[in-house]
Amino acid sequence: QVQLVESGGGLVQPGGSLRLSCATSGIIFSMNAMSWYRQGPGKQRELVASITSGGGTNYADSVKGRFTISRDNTKNTVYLQMNSLKPEDTAVYYCKSRRFREYWGRGTQVTVSS
């Protein structure tokens, strides 16, 4: 059974930092591309960052220089380090795995507010 479980969300002030984790099971993690998406209030889900099985990364323009995606194949976990957070980063953050098919987690809420 495939499971992707996000954690690390919460309430943070503008300018603050959070580190999201997505722990996976039931997939060959090292062979999967992993991505973080987010869906803000009243908005469509959008790609935030992705990392290939080989470690290549890609970021949305809105988060470049502030967010860093990384993976630990020994822990079957992908991370999203988020710095200099802005109110517009408020969203539910989801992780996704992709190899022959896609799997999604249930998301973790990030709220950036003073």
Give me Rg for the CA atoms of the chain. Answer: 13
Q: Which two tokens stand for residue 97?
A: 């795995």
| Per-residue pLDDT tens over the stretch 91-109 | 999 999 999 999 999 999 9
Tally the residues of the chain.
Answer: 114
| Per-residue pLDDT tens over the stretch 45-83 | 999 999 999 999 999 999 999 999 999 999 999 999 999
Question: How far is residue 79's CA from residue 96's CA, in Å, rounded to a whole number?
Answer: 12
Question: How far is residue 67's CA from residue 87's CA, in Å, rounded to a whole number?
Answer: 15
Per-residue pLDDT at 53? 96
Mean pLDDT of 6-22: 98
